[in-house]
């Protein structure tokens, strides 16, 4: 039995359960740690207090905030702490129940002691919340709503497994609580109490996330004896709720917390005067005099927090900021507080926070629907709360609401609501917009035009480069002597109300701000302004979209062009040319589908123009990573062209030529070769031997001949074909240079890599002179020169050439362009061949992640990455890992390419090799070549 260190004199605080330092507290015999405290960030104050009280009672405790060192791996530390500790304490709250990490921690303790006999899991509730599922089967202890001593007594008694009755009479619970000095120093303030002076609004029981902002507020307010911090952001982003949550979480750190609605600065004095009574000051006299007395009193006190909610004018509020050793927290839409306060930027939720909020408000909500709804609402807390309120009230199916919102956005933005938020999305920005209409009409014009564009960054050059397309005050601002300075002022008025965000020379509206502004426009006015934004975007599209120097501008304009362009606009062709050159084939496919659907609607499905756009969709489908889909689409289109246009029409022959291409790209190389053989005579007959399309099919016949296994035939083909193409097009035409590159390739494949290397070297000289050192074709020749250098016996030189090429490729084409990714893959290969298999493995692992994201998991290039990763995993010394990876890769190849495809056969062979090389090769995976071998 623990002994009492001493008796308490009257008026002093009595240590919990009759003890100061406790002798003989129960300990784990071997672990060295009695308790691991499992908690979530919202309850850090409780967790620290629990740990302190237990350590003061003689127990050994492990807790994240004290024991996890900077730079350590969070999940690993959590796992080790839970394993080492004899018991786990769950600090139970609504936030804790929503934490995946916390769930894993308490479930691990439960699994080690499902009967509860060993009391491996102790549950302490720190707020009113449910104990769902397995947690409901354990006896829990409530620590909230109690005096500090009673809570500490319950805590220690539960740790010992004793009755909760304290050893001596508890201290009278009506007295003010003060931190006490214990055997281990100054105890953290008990987090269960509120200050004596307190008028903060009720806590939001659905508050979610925002841990980084809460931490930042604590850091800023703790930076000095007098600290002022501003939370700024757009309306509806949750600034007030964040301030309320901070005040509640840190209430125990203050003796006074006073909340002031500061939207009307003239009434702030009244709010301060109301504090006189709670402070014991005189309430006689004028309001201004009483307020001044309160401010002076705060300057003499310590441990206070004053919150100014929704303050908009820093100059007007400056004289109301208290001095003295306390904290001031301000919420505002206006970012212009930097001279008076540290700033915490409050933006929309992270997507995970938005989904967590919705699933907490709407139990049983499908995660995919929650994610889609959060995306549609732009992760804006007010919008999410409003939608949740509407769904709860009306019992509407969330998926149906989502579909309805997409078509009736303006109507639904005015429905629903949340008592903790003032108004709805439809009214959140109305006052700011009314003020701007009166004071800054050019800003309203700018916001209105932006509202008709995509909710992505908009270059300000869109406006000040083309003032002739504008009218009214905005045109005057953009056409003045100093247009950018004037436009800066226009943008600044929008920023003052957080109706837009600025980054560099771009402006961006939240999607719902744009929806509200656009929804207020009369239909006729909206149509006129849509014509303006179409003209602005089209005028901003640079010429020569194939040039990489224009790509940054195109990348910024593509989202807006897709929103405002009709498919028949001339600018769409520029977009497609840019998307092709930059390698964004998936977006090109979507744009082309829009063009095709519009063409069919206007002209009919079998109009020649519609057949051309249908073929283009098939081509982009293949480029986007689905060669089999492209082949099938073209195979279905070909008989339609035969019937509608005739078998010898050029469009029909073009479809047949592309069908041959995608048949080969889908893995049927003999089929592609045979299609070229059948098409080539028809092209010669219809268009002549020297027609560019005839030459195109002729060149592809040689390529697919080689791919089908006849390497010597491919060499002979290009040797005969090259002089003809040179005669027709000239020796330095890009198509001729491409054929020379292919000829070098097949010379190398035929067994003479040194000759291939020399041919590429000579070709590179021509390319650099004709096209330039950084032309796309020049860089392809450099890629192939490096490859054949390695194949000719110098892997280190190949590696070095790719290392030199990669930065150029990334700068010219972009880091995720298909050609750049090819160079990265080849670099990884030659790194391994040059003697560093571990680095090759790591390079392929990184490349695989990019290909999965950019091209998708089933793209052939993604599958090849997985194969190469498996190979270099084995070469790096992990044959069992290579075996397991090849087993997975083989299944993917068989599904995507078929069981007899060359890559599938190669994967099956490597699986057998690594299975035999693995230490446990007798236990090979089912289906491998050596499965079951003795």
Select from 193, 197, 168, 144 the least CA-distant residue to 13.
168
Residue 705 covered by a domain = no
pLDDT digits over 773-825, tens only?
Answer: 888 889 999 999 999 999 999 999 999 999 999 999 888 878 888 888 999 99
Once rounded to an integer, what is the mean pLDDT over residues 546-555? 85
Give, as one character, the DSSP assignment of residue 40.
Answer: -
* CA–CA separation, 528 and 533 (whole Å): 9
pLDDT band at 550 (very low <50, low <70, confident <90, very high): confident
Q: What is the enclosing helix (H) or strand (E) of 451?
A: helix 441-451
Select from 153, 209, 197, 148 the least CA-distant residue to 175.
148
Choice between 144 and 14, residue whose per-residue pLDDT is larger: 144
Q: What is the pLDDT of residue 925?
A: 44
Residue 823 covered by a domain = no
Task: Let me know whether 573 and 496 are in one domain.
Answer: no
Domain of 267, CATH number, reads 3.40.50.300
Q: What is the pLDDT of residue 20?
A: 32
Residue 49 covered by a domain = yes
Q: Which domain holds residue 113?
A: 16-186
Q: What is the pLDDT of residue 12?
A: 27
Q: What is the pLDDT of residue 416?
A: 61
Residue 327 phi, psi (nearest 5): -125, 145
Q: What is the pLDDT of residue 93?
A: 86
pLDDT digits over 458-481, tens only?
Answer: 999 999 888 889 888 888 888 866
Give, as one character, the DSSP assignment of residue 366.
Answer: -
* CA–CA separation, 74 and 64 (whole Å): 9
Q: What is the pLDDT of residue 412?
A: 72
Helices 837-854 and 818-833 meet at what angle, rounded to 10?
A: 160
Select from 701, 651, 654 the least CA-distant residue to 676.
701
Q: Which residues pair with 89 in a beta bridge?
A: 37, 122
Q: 125-129, 185-189, 272-276, 301-305: which has the minimum mean pLDDT?
A: 185-189
**DSSP for 283-295, written as a single string:** --S-HHHHHHHHH
- The vertex-520 CA angle with 556 and 404, nearest 5°, equals 80
Select from 398, 45, 87 the least CA-distant residue to 252.
45
* CA–CA separation, 624 and 19 (whole Å): 71
Q: What is the pLDDT of residue 758?
A: 96
pLDDT band at 633 (very low <50, low <70, confident <90, very high): very high
Residue 458 phi, psi (nearest 5): -115, 120
Q: What is the pLDDT of residue 415?
A: 66
pLDDT band at 189 (very low <50, low <70, confident <90, very high): low
What is the token pair recorded at 141? 């202890």
Residue 830 covered by a domain = no
- The vertex-186 CA angle with 184 and 192, nearest 5°, equals 110
Q: What is the pLDDT of residue 187?
A: 53
* CA–CA separation, 487 and 490 (whole Å): 5
pLDDT digits over 161-176, tens only?
Answer: 765 454 555 444 444 4
Q: What is the pLDDT of residue 774?
A: 83
Task: Let me know whether 45 and 179 are in one domain.
Answer: yes
Taking all residues of the chain, what is their mean pLDDT, rounded to a whole number? Answer: 83
* CA–CA separation, 623 and 169 (whole Å): 80
Residue 550 covered by a domain = yes
Task: Let me know whether 50 and 176 are in one domain.
Answer: yes
* CA–CA separation, 331 and 310 (whole Å): 5
- The vertex-406 CA angle with 402 and 407, nearest 5°, equals 125
Would you say residue 934 has pLDDT above 80? no
- Out of 314, 345, 376, a domain closes at 345
Q: How many residues does the chain have?
A: 934
* CA–CA separation, 532 and 579 (whole Å): 24
pLDDT digits over 739-756, tens only?
Answer: 999 999 999 999 999 999
Would you say residue 615 has pLDDT above 90? yes
CA atoms within 13 A on the CB side of 287: 8
Q: What is the pLDDT of residue 357?
A: 87
Task: Let me know whether 336 and 201 are in one domain.
Answer: yes
pTM above threshold 0.85: no
Task: Let me know whether 167 and 50 are in one domain.
Answer: yes
CA atoms within 13 A on the CB side of 38: 34
Once rounded to an integer, what is the mean pLDDT over residues 698-722? 93
Residue 597 covered by a domain = yes
Kindly state the percentage of the chain with pLDDT values over 90.
Answer: 36
Helix (H, G, I), strand (E, B) or coil at 653: helix
Q: What is the pLDDT of residue 65?
A: 80
Task: Let me know whether 390 and 497 are in one domain.
Answer: no
Task: Let me know whether 26 and 168 are in one domain.
Answer: yes
Domain of 508, CATH number, reads 1.10.10
pLDDT digits over 1-49, tens only?
Answer: 333 333 322 222 223 333 333 333 433 334 478 899 999 877 888 898 8
* CA–CA separation, 494 and 445 (whole Å): 11
Give, as one character, the DSSP assignment of residue 193.
Answer: -
pLDDT digits over 36-56, tens only?
Answer: 999 987 788 889 889 989 988
Select from 289, 287, 297 the least CA-distant residue to 326.
297
Q: What is the pLDDT of residue 76?
A: 67
Task: Let me know whether 92 and 131 are in one domain.
Answer: yes
**Cβ–Cβ < 8 Å for 517, 529:** no
Q: What is the pLDDT of residue 789?
A: 97
Domain of 73, CATH number, reads 3.40.50.10140
pLDDT band at 686 (very low <50, low <70, confident <90, very high): very high
- Out of 424, 448, 473, a domain closes at 424
Domain count, the chain: 6
Instruction: Report CA torsion sign: 265, 267, 270, 274.
Output: negative
End-to-end CA distance of the chain: 64
Residue 332 covered by a domain = yes
Q: Which residues pair with 259 in a beta bridge?
A: 307
Task: Let me know whether 21 and 117 are in one domain.
Answer: yes
Q: What is the pLDDT of residue 422?
A: 57
Would you say residue 651 has pLDDT above 60? yes
Task: Let me know whether 360 and 308 are in one domain.
Answer: no
Give, as one character, the DSSP assignment of residue 188.
Answer: P
Once rounded to an integer, what is the mean pLDDT over residues 115-132? 82
Once rounded to an integer, what is the mean pLDDT over residues 172-192? 47
- Out of 374, 402, 424, a domain closes at 424
Alpha helix ranges (H) inside 318-440: 351-361, 367-376, 381-394, 398-407, 409-412, 425-428, 430-439
* CA–CA separation, 245 and 744 (whole Å): 69
Instruction: Report CA torsion sign: 841, 844, 850, 852.
Output: negative
* CA–CA separation, 805 and 809 (whole Å): 6
Once rounded to an integer, what is the mean pLDDT over residues 670-685? 95
Residue 381 covered by a domain = yes
Choice between 832 and 96, residue whose per-residue pLDDT is larger: 832
* CA–CA separation, 297 and 589 (whole Å): 69
Task: Let me know whether 313 and 379 are in one domain.
Answer: no
Q: What is the pLDDT of residue 747?
A: 95
Strand 304-309 with 327-332, pairing? parallel
Once rounded to an integer, what is the mean pLDDT over residues 58-72? 80
Task: Let me know whether 415 and 450 are in one domain.
Answer: no
Q: What is the pLDDT of residue 70?
A: 62
């Amino acid at each position: 039995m623990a002994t009492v260190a001493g008796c308490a004199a009257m008026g002093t605080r009595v240590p919990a359960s009759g003890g100061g330092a406790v002798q003989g507290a129960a300990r784990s015999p071997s672990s060295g740690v009695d308790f691991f405290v499992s908690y979530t960030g919202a309850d850090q104050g409780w967790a620290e207090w629990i740990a302190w009280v237990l350590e003061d009672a003689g127990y050994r405790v492990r807790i994240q905030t004290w024991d996890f060192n900077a730079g350590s791996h969070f999940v690993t530390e959590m796992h080790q702490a839970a394993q080492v500790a004899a018991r786990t304490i769950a600090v139970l709250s609504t936030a804790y129940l929503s934490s995946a990490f916390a769930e894993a921690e308490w479930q691990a303790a439960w699994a080690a002691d499902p009967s509860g006999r060993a009391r491996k899991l102790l549950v302490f509730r720190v707020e009113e919340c449910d104990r769902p599922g397995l947690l409901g089967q354990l006896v829990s202890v409530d620590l909230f709503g109690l005096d500090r001593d009673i809570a500490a007594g319950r805590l220690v008694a539960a740790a010992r497994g004793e009755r909760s009755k304290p050893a001596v009479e508890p201290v009278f619970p009506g007295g003010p609580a003060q931190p006490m000095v214990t055997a281990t120093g100054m105890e953290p303030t008990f987090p269960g109490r509120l200050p004596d002076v307190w008028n903060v609004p009720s806590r939001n029981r659905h508050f979610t996330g925002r841990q980084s902002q809460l931490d930042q507020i604590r850091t800023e307010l703790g930076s000095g004896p007098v600290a002022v911090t501003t939370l700024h952001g757009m309306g509806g982003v949750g600034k007030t709720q964040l301030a309320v949550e901070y005040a509640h979480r840190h209430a125990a750190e203050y003796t006074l917390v006073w909340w002031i609605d500061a939207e009307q600065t003239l009434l702030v004095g009244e709010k301060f005067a109301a504090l006189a009574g709670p402070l014991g000051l005189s309430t006689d006299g004028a309001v201004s005099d009483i307020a001044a007395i309160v401010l002076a009193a705060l300057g003499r006190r310590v441990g206070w927090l004053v919150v100014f909610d929704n303050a908009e004018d820093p100059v007007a509020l400056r004289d109301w900021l208290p001095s003295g050793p306390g904290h001031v927290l301000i919420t505002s839409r206006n970012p212009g507080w930097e001279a008076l306060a540290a700033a915490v930027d409050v933006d929309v939720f992270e997507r995970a926070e938005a989904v967590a909020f919705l699933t907490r408000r709407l139990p049983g909500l499908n995660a995919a629907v929650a994610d889609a709804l959060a995306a549609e609402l732009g992760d804006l807390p007010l919008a999410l709360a409003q939608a949740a309120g509407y769904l709860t009230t009306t019992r509407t199916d969330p998926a149906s609401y989502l579909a309805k919102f997409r078509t009736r956005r303006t109507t639904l933005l005015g429905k629903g609501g949340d008592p903790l938020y003032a108004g709805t999305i439809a009214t959140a920005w109305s006052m700011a917009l009314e003020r701007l209409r009166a004071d800054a009409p050019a800003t309203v014009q700018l916001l209105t035009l932006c509202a008709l564009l995509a909710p992505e960054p908009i270059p300000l050059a869109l406006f000040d480069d083309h003032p002739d397309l504008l009218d009214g005050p905005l045109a005057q601002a953009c056409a003045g002597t100093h247009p950018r300075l004037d436009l800066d002022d226009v943008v600044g008025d929008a920023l003052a109300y957080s109706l837009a965000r600025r980054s560099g020379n771009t402006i961006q509206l939240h999607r719902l701000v744009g929806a509200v502004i656009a929804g207020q426009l009369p239909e006729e006015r909206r149509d006129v302004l849509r014509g303006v934004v179409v003209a602005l975007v089209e005028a901003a599209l640079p010429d020569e979209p194939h040039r990489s120097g224009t790509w940054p501008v195109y990348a910024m304009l593509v989202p807006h062009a897709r929103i405002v362009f009709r498919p028949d606009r001339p600018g769409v062709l520029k977009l497609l040319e840019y998307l092709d050159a930059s390698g964004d084939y998936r977006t090109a496919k979507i744009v082309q589908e829009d063009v095709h659907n519009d063409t069919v609607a206007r002209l009919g499905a079998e109009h020649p123009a519609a057949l051309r756009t249908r073929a283009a969709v098939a081509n982009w489908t293949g480029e986007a990573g689905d060669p089999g889909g492209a082949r099938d689409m073209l195979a279905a289109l070909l008989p339609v062209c035969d019937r509608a246009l005739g078998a010898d029409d050029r469009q029909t022959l073009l479809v047949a030529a592309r069908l041959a291409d995608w048949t080969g790209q889908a893995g049927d190389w003999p089929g592609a070769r045979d299609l070229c053989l059948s098409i080539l005579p028809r092209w010669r007959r219809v268009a002549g031997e020297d027609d560019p399309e005839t030459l195109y099919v002729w060149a592809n016949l040689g390529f697919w001949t080689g791919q089908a296994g006849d390497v010597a035939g491919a060499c002979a083909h290009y040797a005969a074909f090259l002089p003809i193409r040179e005669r027709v097009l000239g020796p330095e035409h890009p198509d001729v240079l491409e054929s020379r590159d292919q000829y070098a390739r097949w010379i190398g494949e035929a067994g003479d890599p040194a000759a291939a290397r020399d041919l590429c070297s000579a070709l590179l000289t021509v390319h650099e002179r004709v096209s330039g050192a950084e032309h796309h074709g020049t860089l392809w020749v450099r890629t192939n020169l490096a490859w054949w250098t390695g194949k000719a016996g110098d892997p280190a030189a190949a590696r070095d050439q790719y290392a030199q090429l990669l930065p150029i490729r990334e700068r010219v084409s972009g880091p995720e362009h298909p050609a750049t990714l090819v160079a990265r893959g080849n670099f990884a290969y030659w790194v391994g061949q040059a003697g560093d298999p571990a680095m090759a493995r790591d390079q392929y692992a990184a490349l695989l992640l990019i290909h999965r994201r950019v091209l998708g998991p089933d793209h052939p290039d993604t599958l090849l990455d997985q194969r190469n990763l498996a190979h270099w995993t084995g070469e790096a010394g992990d044959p069992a890992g290579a075996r397991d990876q090849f087993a997975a890769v083989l299944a993917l190849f068989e599904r995507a390419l078929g069981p007899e495809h060359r890559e599938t056969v190669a994967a099956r062979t490597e699986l057998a090799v690594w299975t035999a090389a693995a230490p446990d090769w007798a236990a090979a995976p089912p289906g491998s070549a050596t499965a079951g071998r003795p």
